[in-house]
Structure 1
C-alpha cells in the first residue's frame, strides 16, 4: 500500500508516543503532521512553477502551524490517528514505561501508539535506501526526511555516522534544486520546542558509547524511548535467563519482543525499538534486584 507524505511521517513520528498525554515530543510530532499536510498539498499543485509563490505560501502556512493551540493539535491528532487505525497500521498498546517497577506496582495506566511493524519497516528502509545510496532522490523522500529532521526523529532511523553523510547529501541537493533548498531551509517550531529538540539531539549525541546509549539522565519524559527497570531475581541466573524472563514479562503486558543478534551482541527488539538488557538494582529500603532496559539508537 502506498502512503501519503503525511501518513508516512505520522507512522514514524507517532510510533512510541504517549497516546493519553500531551508530551513535548508528541507536540512536535503533531506539528510535523500539520506541516506534512501543507507540503504534500503544495507539491500536488502547479505552484512549483513559480518558486517565489511556492516559498511565500509555504512559509506563510508554516507560520500558522507555529501558532497552533492545544485544541487544534488534539483535533489533528485524532484525525490522523483515525485514518491510520482505519488502515490497520496504527494501534494503541500499553506504554512500555508502564512496565517499569515504579509504575506497574502502582497500577498506573499508560498507553502509547504503535505503528504496524511491516509498514514502519518499509517506510524507514525505503528512506534509508534512497538517501544513503547514489542516485536520484525524490521529492517525497526529501519531504519526509525534512519532517523527520525537524521533529528530532533522525536518531531513530540513522546512525551518527549516517547522519553526517545525510547532512552532506542534503547540502548537495539544496545546491542542485531550488525546490529542495526552499523545503530544507524551513522550520515550524516555536522557540521552546526548538530548544527541546536541540536538547534532545545533544542528549543523544552524548551516548555515542554503545554501553551508554539511551540512558535517561535528566529529563526522561523528553524522549519517547524510556529506560525502564524490571524487578527479578538476578542471583544464580545467566544473561539468557534474564533476557528470557524480561521478554516474557513484556509479552504478558502487551508488547511484541524479538531477540536479534547484531554483530557480537544480542539485543531485544520491543515493538519498533531496540533495547539492551542490563543487570541493575533499585535502592529502596532494601536493594531490589532486576534488569534495566536501555534504548539503543542506531
Structure 2
C-alpha cells in the first residue's frame, strides 16, 4: 500500500495529558464555546426582533440579547414550572423555555406544537434529545468537568466561520480540585465563570472536545437516574414541587422545594454544596411572585455521576435532621 504525503505531526517529545478515546454525545450538533453564545447564534441566524424569556432563568442569557439590542419581555411560570401564556407572541418574536432540571421534556414536547418560534434551553437537560426543527442549546459544564463548551441544534447554520476557542487557561479549577479538593478550587471556578462573560462566539475548543470524548455517557446518565429515583422515593411526600419524572431523563439535580428559606444554608454548613437558581431573580421579581419563592426555597440536591447510593443515603440522613 503506497504511503502518501500528509501534514506532518510531531513525533516524540513529552507525553500529553492522556484520556480515553471515545465519542461525543452530540457529534452532529454545532459545537460552540458557551450556552449564551449558542443563544446568540440562534438570534443572529433567525433575525428575531423580540424574545420572551422566563423570570426564572440565569441572567447570563441577557448578554447576547442586549448585545444584539433585541427587545425582551419576561413571562411568569406556574407551579408546574411551565409558561403562563397570557400574551400573544408576535410573528417576528420567539419564546425561550428552560427545560428545568431536566424534568420538563413533556412540557417541551407540548410547547413545540403551541409555539412556532420556540427556543429550548437544555442547559439543565443535557441528556434530553433535541426535537426536530426546534432550536435547542446545551451547556456542557453544567453536567461534566469541562472548562466550557456548548452544543446547538439548529436547522440552518450561519455562513460565518468562527474561530476555534482555546481553553487550557480555564482548566485550573478542574486540575486543582484533583490534588487539593473541590473546596480549594472553588475560587478558581468562580474566576472561570467570570472569564466566560461577554466572549465572542467561537467554536468549541479542541481541549473541551477531547475531554467530552472521554466521558462514559451511559454510565453518567444511569447513575443520575438511579440517584434521582433514590431521593425521590423518600422526599416526594415532603417536596412541594410536584412532577411526573420520566425514568430516562437523567436530570441535572433533584429539585426539592421546601418551605424553609434557610435550608440551603444549613446544608452548605454541613458541606452539602447546593446552588441557588438564580440569585438575579431577586432583582427581577417581587417577594409575592412564585419565581422569588422558588429562588429562595428550592434546594438543588446533587445527584450526579460522582456520587454513590451511600452518598445519597448520607445526604438524606442530614436532610431529615433539618426537616
Q: TM-score of the superposition, structure 2-length normalised?
A: 0.29
Q: Which structure has more helix as a fraction of its residues?
A: 1
